[in-house]
Structure 1
Amino acid sequence: MVESVARLERADADRREAKSQVESVGEENLRDLREAVGDLREILTAYEDRAVRDEDFAAFIEFQDRIGHFTNDLPEDLPERETFEDIDDLLQQRRLVESDFEDARERLADAESALAPLEDWEDATDRYREARRAVGRRLDEVRDEIAERERLQRLGEADLDAPVERLRDPIETYDQNVREAFASFRSDSSAREVLDFLATTANFPLVPFERPPDDLRTFVRTHEAGTESIPQLLEYAGFSRSKLDHYVDDPDALKRAVATQQTYLERLDADPLTVGWPPPEADVLRWQCNERISVVGRFAPDVVPDLRAVRELTRREDYDRLRTSAQARDQLTDAERERLRSGAVEEELAELREEREQLEDALETYPDR
């Protein structure tokens, strides 16, 4: 049996046993007892210092009155009611000293020990819930592991001799061309134009460019330096303020806007527009291409035909077969190939599926409560 399931079964048995002990006394009675213990402790704490002072007779009378009403209001069938009555008798004296309060607390602690069944049940319930959560966490892990083995099996069944170049060549051609085009756009266009372009890509969620920082975009819009290229702005950012004063009208503004965003500007490249290898699923790639056509057309219309050629690949009947072959060649390690050949993956998958069934059955058998 799966260890987490066995733990849940034990936790459920402990919880049921603890609950039977509570029911033998009465859950409501025990909760009333816990409330009474807490209330009496609060009264003792509130009056201890004043009720033992000879000069504070009013507090002494008020304290004994509260204790009397407290005891009289207790339910007749409250567990340990006699202990509360004994404490009441102890405190209804003509004069109280600190040792009387100590004695009262000791007797109250004896009454509190009767709460053990309720506390045991609550502890057992906490352990049960944690054990059930552990089963859920393990189920998530097992499902992930099953998905990984199934992925390996699919890759292991791939035709490693399939002509994957039918996909790779158009994709590599597009990726190379769009990288070169974006690099030229970044270096030849003004920073203002490039950042405006990047801002528009927010309308295309499948083109995940990082949004330009607001302070940087404001700077290139409102300063003459914004007409310079990004490489030129980065070069300016490395100048001293005295040297920079000869090139721009507001050196401090450039330092604040450009130097603080140097990493963002240096990392700008065409990665969000590239396909990569192996390519994604056909539907995913098709949607990506649809959005990228609109985006790429804004700075490199001559690359759009390459992108359309990539989109056409997704309509090939053999796309999935070629993609799986590409994944197998690219992703399967020698160790994974050996595990597939020896049947180890198949054995692991069978064991994991059996464990998944046990975990799912356990969650159904032992509800969240």
Structure 2
Amino acid sequence: MSRNTGTTTTNAGDPTGELEVAATEVTETERRVSEYGEETVEEVADAYEQAIKLLDSYEGRATGTGDFEAYLEFQGQFADLVESLADDLPEREAFEAAEERIDKRRLSERDFERARTDLEGAADIAALLDERREARAQYREARRDVTTDLVETRERIESHENLLELGDADLQAPTENLREPIESYDEAVSTAFSTFKKDASAREVLDFVEATEEYPLVEFRQPPEALVSYVESREAGTKPIPELVEFSRYSNSKLDHYVEDPAALKRAVATNETYLERLDSHPLEVEWPPREGAELRWRADELIAVVAKFAPEDVVAKLREVRDLTRDEAEFGRLRTAARAEAELASEEREKLANGQVERELEQLRERKEQLESALEEYPERSQ
């Protein structure tokens, strides 16, 4: 019989309250184990397990007019078990009571039931280690829940602070002063890359993509090794990518007229057709709304070095214009905030900003954050 040491329904749904309850459970189960001592609890648990095992094993054979030999064997083994127990073992009298219960000439199922009832006090002690283990597991889980809530609360605080920043935006600001140069560059680099991919050899294009790995702010997905190896070592690598993809769709007999080893081309190109088709100018473009001024400036410096490898000078010049937009940090910041407000604020959010709801929610979230942090500080991680 397991003893419940606390009320787990208290503060249900509130992770800080549940952590408090879990901590109380741990403290209570640890106190009860320490009352007896861990070794003593283990001795009681071992004796109880042996007693129940004997009762379960012999109940069907030692009752009524059943197996007399089993009946004698059962009584002898149970008596030996009780005799082996230390005189000062907690609940020793429970084992003695159970032994007395079965010390009769004929046993019934009722006698076995009563013997188990006699052992309930020992069962409570035997269950303590499992209860402690469970309480500690619940404590760890409750603490994880508080940590998860804290992470989510911090994210919501950041979101609300972002909304307040956007709420201060000058919605009349001429955001086209940012949008038009960025869109002009994006369109130009998209056209230039499409031309490069269509006209240059697959070897040149993949060499270009591999070279961008040196520029961490230009995030091309690197080409598969098997594809690179093929275009670097085979004459087919001098063909443009669209032509290689078209070849890979030919039958082997037809392809045999165009390349030396049709099977090798299919292994290298057909299996990587999706990569080749998705290879586009997206990693070279400037997103809208743009990044913060300093970050955009650093990225533009890398993009200039990369784009100049394949694009005409007029495309690079457009990119320099985009970079130069960040020189006046105050004006860039004003226009960028306005652009973000235009792009990100829904009508509902604008209404919440206007009536002060965002500020009220932010205050509540900050209070919640302090509460969660305090709970984690008050109830630290446990080594066990």
TM-score by length of 2: 0.77
Helix, strand or coil: the match of 1:140? helix
Aligned to 1:294: 305
1:117 lines up with 2:128 in the alignment: yes
The amino acid that maps onto 2:250 is: F
1:281 lines up with 2:292 in the alignment: yes
Among candidates 289, 302, 311, match of residue 323 of structure 2 = 311
Q: Percent identity?
A: 50
Q: CA offsets, 1:219-244, max 9 Å, x none?
A: 11222111110111111122222222
Aligned to 1:229: 240
Aligned to 1:186: 197
Tell me how far apart the structure 2 counterparts of residues 33 and 13 of structure 1 sit (CA, whole Å): 25
Aligned to 2:254: 243
1:173 lines up with 2:184 in the alignment: yes
Tell me how far apart the structure 2 counterparts of residues 35 and 121 of structure 1 sit (CA, whole Å): 17
The amino acid that maps onto 1:309 is: E
Change (3 A) 1:188 1:11: same
Tell me how far apart the structure 2 counterparts of residues 204 and 81 of structure 1 sit (CA, whole Å): 76
Helix, strand or coil: the match of 1:298? coil
Aligned to 2:103: none
Change (3 A) 1:19 1:166: same
Helix, strand or coil: the match of 2:269? helix
CA contact (8 A) 2:209 2:223 kept: yes
Change (3 A) 1:210 1:75: farther
Tell me how far apart the structure 2 counterparts of residues 159 and 325 of structure 1 sit (CA, whole Å): 6
Q: CA offsets, 1:195-232, max 9 Å, x none?
A: 11111111112111111111111111222111110111
Helix, strand or coil: the match of 1:159? coil
Alpha-carbon deviation of 1:123?
Answer: 2.1
Among candidates 349, 361, 365, match of residue 352 of structure 1 = 365
Alpha-carbon deviation of 1:81?
Answer: 6.6
Aligned to 2:375: 362
Question: Unpaired segments of 5 or more residues in structure 1?
Answer: 45-63, 88-101
Question: Unpaired segments of 5 or more residues in structure 2?
Answer: 1-10, 55-76, 99-111
The amino acid that maps onto 2:31 is: S
Give the CA RMSD over aligned residues.
Answer: 3.6
Change (3 A) 1:243 1:85: same
Aligned to 2:354: 341
Alpha-carbon deviation of 1:80?
Answer: 5.6
1:206 lines up with 2:212 in the alignment: no
Change (3 A) 1:315 1:106: same
Map 1:18-29 → 2, pairs under 5 A: 18-29=29-40
Tell me how far apart the structure 2 counterparts of residues 154 and 259 of structure 1 sit (CA, whole Å): 49
The amino acid that maps onto 2:33 is: V
Equivalenced residues, count: 342
Alpha-carbon deviation of 1:165?
Answer: 2.1
1:129 lines up with 2:140 in the alignment: yes
Q: CA offsets, 1:127-169, max 9 Å, x none?
A: 2221121111111111111111111111111001112222222
Q: CA offsets, 1:326-349, max 9 Å, x none?
A: 100111111211221222222221
Q: CA offsets, 1:161-200, max 9 Å, x none?
A: 1122222222222211111111111001000111111111
Aligned to 1:59: none
1:252 lines up with 2:258 in the alignment: no
Change (3 A) 1:37 1:215: farther
Aligned to 1:325: 338
Tell me how far apart the structure 1 counterparts of residues 349 and 15 of structure 2 sit (CA, whole Å): 28
Of 232-241 and 257-266, the range deviating more from structure 2: 232-241
Aligned to 2:155: 144
Helix, strand or coil: the match of 1:300? coil
Larger helix percent: 1
1:4 lines up with 2:15 in the alignment: yes
Tell me how far apart the structure 2 counterparts of residues 354 and 7 of structure 1 sit (CA, whole Å): 18
Aligned to 1:94: none
Tell me how far apart the structure 2 counterparts of residues 321 and 231 of structure 1 sit (CA, whole Å): 44
Helix, strand or coil: the match of 1:161? coil
The amino acid that maps onto 1:212 is: P
Helix, strand or coil: the match of 1:119? helix
Tell me how far apart the structure 1 counterparts of residues 246 and 48 of structure 2 sit (CA, whole Å): 75
Alpha-carbon deviation of 1:78?
Answer: 4.9
Of 338-347 and 76-85, the range deviating more from structure 2: 76-85
Tell me how far apart the structure 1 counterparts of residues 237 and 263 of structure 2 sit (CA, whole Å): 14
